[in-house]
Structure 1
Amino acid sequence: MDASEAPTDNPYVTDPDTEFEAVESLTETAAREQAALLREAIRYHDHRYYVRADPVIGDRTYDALFARLEALESAFDLEVETSPTQRVGGVPVDELATVDHVAPMRSLDQSGEADDVREFDRRVREGLGREEVTYLCEPKFDGLSVEVVYEDGVYQRAATRGDGQQGDDVTEQVRTIPSVPQRLRGDCPDTLAVRGEVYMPREAFQEHNRERVERGEDPFANPRNAAAGTLRQLDPSVVAERPLAVFFFGVLDASVDFEAHSELYDRFPDWGLRVADQAEVVDDIEAALDYRDDLLARREELDYEIDGTVITLNDRAACERLGSTARAPRWAFAYKFPARSERTTVRDIVVQVGRTGRLTPVALLDPVEVGGVTVSRASLHNPDEIARLGVSVGDEVAIERAGDVIPDVTEVVDGGEGHYEFPAACPACESEIERDGPLAFCPAGLGCPAQREQAIEYYASREAMDIEGLGEAGVTQLVDAGLVEDLADLYELTVTDLAALEGWGETSAENLVTELEATRQPPLADFLTALGIPEVGSATARELATAFGTFEAVRTADETELEAVPDVGPTVATAIRDFFLAEENAAVIDRLLEYVDPQPATATGGDELAGSTFVFTGSLDGFTRSEAQELVERHGGSATSSVSGNTDFLVVGDDPGQRKRDDADEHDVEPLSESAFVAELERRGVDIE
């Protein structure tokens, strides 16, 4: 698509001016006109970004256009189903309904053997009674197949493949995927049902997994599981927050004709449907085999997972003549890649102790190359998974690696009877372990050396005390040198102690001691965060600090008092109470308090916001959400994590959560854009510099 195909007379297409006049100054007619132009422009920019991979404006400009459209739709009640703003997700459902496909979504015959592919070709040529045929070769995506239906160019519904005849209705979930157009472009068919593959890009998958681990959640095993698990979420707003994408590759039904399968690669992008750029038409089956081998060699260069190639007879009329079996078409075949799987021997099984006490078994392996990476360890996840696999030391096992995460043991290929017996006691402190479903935990808390070392790392981390110069390697070095056993020992470190360590100099030693001194009187919320209390992150720590005021009040609160704090339910309250009641934790905290004096949570910037409660959703440009919350609290206001009848303002940033917005509507809470939030602070005399 070139610039001449852009919407004409639309000021938001080329070098748009994002200095908008105040929404309040617009008439409803002017707002409707501007919103219509913004929707048209945003759809165009989505097409350039997601389909053509050739954007004409920057991300910040796009975000400004999108935010303006949201503001207009909210202020004048202009929301329409096909608006780009509706991708934030719909109302959660109790279960996924089952729907009939407009045409069968059959699976493919497949093999990883070249001779089987040649046999497929022989059957095709014999069935058509001719020797020369052409094939369309495409990547075989390793995601989740979906049917997407458009009527008069407007998105109607989407369903998973299911059993090929029926699938789960995921209309609202798929609606949130940016590369799925809500309205087709150009001279599109009146009716169009297409087949696509939903997937999670590799880089986005790694980033999403990193965020999950940081939140204490289990990472997804691979991008396919991530995509499949996400699409089946009952709450579309959860899907909207995850980085899914889609490629379209097939026509299930259409009110126009396609003479060749390859035509869709020309026509789909014109309608706004995204296709992969790896497809190729070849003249014979040997060229198709070469295509597969070439794509296998380039597999790791792609930002999406594929597990083979699909070879399709290009002539659609000839496909009709060949027909299909009950399960698969006779005119297409999947030539699979060899699995990223190798065999090796388990030499040992060790149990790692996490910061929160969770015990994770890890298999130590004879090094083996899997997917171009040498693997010497693999996760066994939990005691139940060990029992399911029946794995033990000395067994020969199959290893698979997907998405560059830690590899998994998928099966025991050759082993004896029984399986590795999970220890009854923590390997670090010998405390009797506790079970929570399939998971195992050490209950010793800060009394466990392994948890203690990780607690020190977390205490010094950026999200906690932010002690610059004290990362994981530094903590390990201090522990190994016998200088630090628990948190309090950090404050007994001297420049002389540190400078004597390998790799340390006088300057770096002085810098760390200075950093530690700066944390002796931390804000109460920061101190609570830094303790690493299970189920308590920075947001909950701020709410606890606001509710109780002093550390001693938090420490001695009972579960009923804790549950009165916003967002602290029975599970979190029990975790907090158990943490402070544990003798080992109490001893470490008592000693730490000899060096650290957490400051009571009082408003230090004035009382300009006294009596006002703010909730934040989405990301802000001018400051982080944490900084915004601290600013509110510093000036006498309250910053909570959920909307209730006591909330006065919902500050809406980029990519906001739908649930908080719905709650704000229910409780008649005023939404504020970031600029409106800043204006409100300035109006009430808060200096934000």
Structure 2
Amino acid sequence: MATAEDLADNPYVDDPPTDFAPVEELDEDAAREQAEQLREAIRYHDHRYYVENDPTIGDRTYDALFARLQNLEGTFGLDTDGSPTQRVGGAALDELGEVEHVAPMGSIDQSGEVADVREFDERVRRGLDVDAVEYFCEPKFDGLSVEVVYEDGEYVRAATRGDGTVGEDVTENVRTIGSVPQRLRGDYPEFLAVRGEVYMPRDAFQAYNRERVEAGDDAFANPRNAAAGTLRQLDPKITAERPLSVFFFGVLDSSAEFDSHWEVHERLPEWGLRVNDRIEVADDIDAAIDYRDRQLDVRDDLDYEIDGVVFKVNDVDACQELGSTSRAPRWAFAYKFPARKEQTTLRDVVVQVGRTGRLTPVALLDPVEVGGVTVSRASLHNPALIEDLGVNVGDEVRVQRAGDVIPDVAEVVEKHSEGVVEFPDECPVCGSPVERDGPLAFCSGGLTCPAQRERAIEHYASRDALDVEGLGEKVVEQLLDAGLVESPADLYELTVDDLVDLEGWGTKSARNLIAELNDAREPPLDRFLVALGIHDVGPVTARNLAREFGSFEAIRAAAEGRTDDEAGEDDGSEDGDATGDDGQVTLDALAERSEDGDGDGDDGDGDSDDNGDGDSDDLRGDREAFKRVDDVGPEVADSIVEFFHSEGNRAVLDALVDHVDPQEADVEAGGDELEGLTFVFTGSLDDFTRSDAQELVERHGGSATSSVSGNTDYLVIGDNPGQNKRDAADDEGVPTLEEDEFVELLDERGIER
């Protein structure tokens, strides 16, 4: 690659112009010349940015040069081999191939104990018969090791470490990383195979995790996982969109020769390869240990993750004399840092919008080990908790895993900021006003909010609800983007022709989904109730409601305060078109709050009525009828009544029942083999789902509740059970059954499964 002196006449190096003449005015020779100047200039600017960390132009200017080069190459069909434009990613691969390394990429011995480090030094000194050894000291990067090969200065291939002998071919993905030069610069060797560490910078990792959480996806646990997952993408365009970088730190094979690891470190940047600047040479092991301690002190200030340091005998001839074992070199050792435990720094807070419109703040953290698991996000639950904790970005916090499952922020250990996190006044997804309901916050947009609409439809088709196979998160998003659905009722109006027009769909897959939806037109009543997403109404409560009331219309009539004679009469909007007075979509079906959006079912005056006299004229539903149902208390009864009272919900229900006929429950169905017994289930079962197990118990006269109490007869424990239920069983003296013991109990009582 050319140096600044070589490019003195290149107009795109110093203060480059960006007001290009239209491409159409160039002939092919002029276009080819300009493209080559742009390529050389962009390589130069890449080197200044990634290797020297000293850019000479701004991002907008760089982007303009890059876009012009793409335009020239595309318009004139110019050869793009080795061009910087290849960083945007090529065609997707069917699978990653395998590559044999030019030299073994071994692992190294490691320990977090200083005694082991000194023992390593003693072995080295004995092997070399010297009193002291000079060590090359470098950070141990927590990323993904790769081999990158150059021939005649040109980038040829890249591979992951794999088993040390054979790795995965990630040539096209590594090509997209800006800090990997496509062509070496200066007096480079004819052949060069270097070892590097691909990583995701911490700032970029937090920003990327923020995007994932906002989109409803799981956050990556740590930057290493994020880098590894990105580098193994089959579509290089996805890799190109993600913020990866690389440090080069060793030569695996080369036509050049080196006397020391320090010389390698000095020469790599001359060829355009980025190295780390926290490298030192220590005169002896004591100085090397001091180096490690200093890096431990600053690890939290770095924009990349390190989990220790590496000591290498600096002299290359001495390394060859020491040789290697079958698995690791005798001349290198990693001195590991202790794992971060429980205390970490809060880097960002992102607000998620749930299916019901509830806004949940999520803390994005420096990765920390909690209970043996690395976490990078934790719940802050609600704005009231943020205020109680007094937490803000930059604070040192303690993280705990609630019930051994969900991590949350327990307390602020050290305050490094002013004030607390500012909770948004508007929904971060749709911009609707945020309304507070006690300690909680909700988006008032209802199903006009894309986050609520998408997740409500996903829930409607989920396993515990109507279990519509093939209608997962990605498909729902695709249907929404195409404008084919806005509410669950729209699902039943889809046609094969609608679906086959979408990317990735064929006639067979379209027919399969339509068949699944047709099969869901006569769902069991309890599953339909779950599908509606009424707050606090899960599978157990839904089954209890179905058994008590028998039919959907009976439940709806009770919730709306109608008599049996009134049931079946017009109870929704006149036209059932799910629009408000202003003609805008105002659907809040599957939401947990009434139409006024604040959760108390009132008109804004706090009286829960129209005239302010305190009488519940609007919400005249029969709460007492619901409170007589097992597992339904006052709050759940309120949720049910408020759900059915909402005009928007009623409009959606009217549209749904045009397509769906919930089947009446057989109130007296089943035997009495388990009469008088109450079961609670925790964890996942092998022979049947928890929902099916609960239904089986109730069908044979027993009760299945969601929480352990003194009235519980058995707690049935599956895989990965919740600790809270087990603790409650211990406190209440409730016997526990493993799944096989539960099955044995069923067999003893003659219950067929």
Q: Give the TM-score taking structure 1 as reference length.
A: 0.61
Q: CA deviation at 1:558?
A: 2.8
Q: After TM superposition, give the deviation of residue 291 of structure 1 in Å.
A: 0.3
Aligned-partner Cα distance in 2 for 1:539–1:241: 21
Q: Is the 1:378–1:408 contact (alpha carbons within 8 Å) kept by the matching residues of 2?
A: no
Structure-2 separation of matches of 1:100 and 1:2: 31
SS in 2 for 1:56: coil
Whole-Å separation in 2 of the counterparts to 1:251 and 1:588: 74
Given that 1:159 and 1:169 are in contact with CA atoms closer than 8 Å, whether structure 2 keeps it comes out as: yes
Partner of 1:324: 324
The yes-or-no answer on 1:173 pairing with 2:173 is: yes
Aligned to 2:454: 533
Q: Is the 8 A contact 1:6 1:44 kept in 2?
A: no
Partner deviation per Cα, 1:125-169 (whole Å, 9 max, x = no partner) = 111111132111000001111100000000011111111111111
Matched ranges for 1:359-378 at <5 A: none
**SS at structure 2 position matched to 1:243:** coil
Residue 13 of structure 1 aligns with an amino acid whose one-letter code is V
State whether residues 340 and 369 of structure 2, in contact with CA within 8 Å, keep that contact through their aligned partners in structure 1.
no
| Counterpart-to-counterpart distance in 2, 1:421 and 1:374 | 10
Query: Shift of residue 54 of structure 1?
Result: 0.2
Q: Equivalents in 2 of 1:123, 1:176: separation in Å? A: 42
Contact 1:147 1:160 in 2 (8 A): yes
Q: CA deviation at 1:557?
A: 2.8
Distance 1:45 1:187 in 2: 19
1:598 maps to which of 584, 592, 609 = 584
* Aligned counterpart in structure 2 of residue 461 of structure 1, from 427, 450, 459: 427
Aligned with 1:304: secondary structure? coil
Question: What's the secondary structure of 2:167's corresponding residue?
Answer: strand
Distance 1:595 1:47, change over 3 A: same
1:153 alignment partner in structure 2:
153
What CA distance in whole angstroms lies between the structure 2 residues aligned with 1:319 and 1:83? 38
Does 2:243 align with 1:252? no
Alpha-carbon shift at residue 6 of structure 1 (Å): 6.1
- Give the Cα–Cα distance (whole angstroms) in 2 for the partners of residues 565 and 531 of structure 1: 26
Counterpart mapping for 1:163-202 below 5 A: 163-202=163-202
The amino acid that maps onto 1:341 is K
Cα shift at 1:537? 8.8
After superposition, the Cα gap between the structure-2 partners of 1:592 and 1:143, relative to the gap in structure 1 and judged at 3 Å, is same
Question: Does the 8 Å CA contact 1:141/1:306 hold for their aligned counterparts?
Answer: yes
Q: Cα–Cα, structure 1 residues 199 and 125, in superposed 2: closer, same or farther, change >3 Å?
A: same
Map 1:70-81; keep pairs closer than 5 Å.
Answer: 70-81=70-81
Does the 8 A contact of 2:149 with 2:158 survive in 1?
yes
Tell me which residue corresponds to 2:494. 558
Deviations 1:601-656 (A, max 9, x none): xxxxxxxxxxxxxxxxxxxxxxxxxxxxxxxxxxxxxxxxxxxxxxxxxxxxxxxx
The superposition leaves residues 316-360 of structure 1 with CA deviations (integer Å, 9 ceiling, x where unpaired) of 0111111111111111110010112369xxxxxxxxx9724899x
Distance (whole Å) between structure 2 residues aligned to residue 380 and residue 87 of structure 1: 29
1:41 maps to what in 2?
41
The DSSP-based 3-state class of the residue aligned with 2:482 is helix
Aligned to 1:295: 295
- 1:119: how far off? 1.2
Amino acid aligned to 1:461: C
Partner Cα separation in structure 2 for residue 92 and residue 322 of structure 1: 44
Identity percentage of aligned residues: 53
Task: Tell me the SS of whatever aligns to 1:130.
Answer: coil
3-state SS of the aligned residue for 2:115?
A: helix
Show the counterpart of 2:119.
Answer: 119
- Is residue 2:482 matched to residue 1:543? yes
The residue number in structure 1 matching 2:232 is: 232
CA apart distance, 1:91: 2.0
- Letter of the 1:557 partner, please give it: E
| Separation in 1, partners of 2:429, 2:138 | 45
Please give the secondary structure, in 2, of the residue aligned with 1:298: helix
Q: Distance in 2 between matches of 1:204 and 1:213?
A: 14
Match of 1:415 in 2: none
**Structure 2 unaligned spans of 5+:** 344-351, 378-395, 407-422, 456-472, 522-527, 535-555, 557-570, 587-753
Structure 2 contact 101–166 (Cα < 8 Å) conserved = yes
CA distance in 2, matches of 1:354, 1:216: 8
Whole-Å separation in 1 of the counterparts to 2:116 and 2:295: 19
In the TM superposition, 1:305-384 aligns within 5 A as 305-341=305-341, 355-356=354-355
Distance 1:462 1:572 in 2: 32
Q: Provide the rounded CA distance (Å) in 2 between the counterparts of 1:26 and 1:405.
A: 60
With over 3 angstroms needed to count, the CA separation of the structure-2 counterparts of 1:531 and 1:298, relative to structure 1, is closer
1:680 equivalent in structure 2: none
Give the structure 1 partner of residue 619 of structure 2. Answer: none
- Cα distance in 2 between the residues matched to 1:50 and 1:64: 18
Q: For the Cα contact (< 8 Å) 1:222–1:405, is it kept in 2?
A: no
Amino acid at match of 1:26: L
Q: Is the 8 A contact 1:555 1:580 kept in 2?
A: no
Residue identity matched to 2:354: R
Is the 1:201–1:245 contact (alpha carbons within 8 Å) kept by the matching residues of 2? yes
SS of structure 1 residue aligned to 2:149: strand
Q: What is the 5 A alignment of 1:15-164?
A: 15-164=15-164
Rounded Cα–Cα distance in structure 1 between residues aligned with 2:491 and 2:88: 39
SS at 1:73 equivalent: helix
Q: Is the 8 A contact 1:529 1:537 kept in 2?
A: no
The alpha-carbon deviation at position 235 of structure 1 amounts to 1.4
Deviations 1:544-601 (A, max 9, x none): 1xx79x999957733546526645966999899999995568999979733452289x
Q: By how many angstroms is 1:14 displaced?
A: 0.3
Is the alpha carbon distance of 1:110 and 1:286 closer, same or farther for their aligned partners in structure 2, counting shifts above 3 Å?
Answer: same
CA distance in 1, matches of 2:205, 2:244: 9
Which shows bigger deviation, 558-567 or 9-18? 558-567
Counterpart residue identity of residue 45, structure 1: H
Structure with greater Cα Rg: 2
Are 1:269 and 2:283 an aligned pair? no
Unaligned runs of 5+ in 1: 344-352, 363-368, 382-403, 413-418, 423-456, 491-525, 601-689
Query: Matched residues in 2 for 1:44 and 1:249: separation?
Result: 22
- Structure 1, residues 431-461: CA drift from partner, whole Å, max 9, x if none? xxxxxxxxxxxxxxxxxxxxxxxxxx99952
User: TM-score of the superposition, structure 2-length normalised?
Assistant: 0.56
Partner AA of 1:218 in structure 2? D
2:57 alignment partner AA: I
Distance 1:213 1:596, change over 3 A: farther
Q: RMSD value over aligned CA atoms?
A: 4.7
| Alpha-carbon displacement from aligned partner over 1:377-420 (angstroms, at most 9, x marks no partner) | 99799xxxxxxxxxxxxxxxxxxxxxx999686xx9xxxxxx98
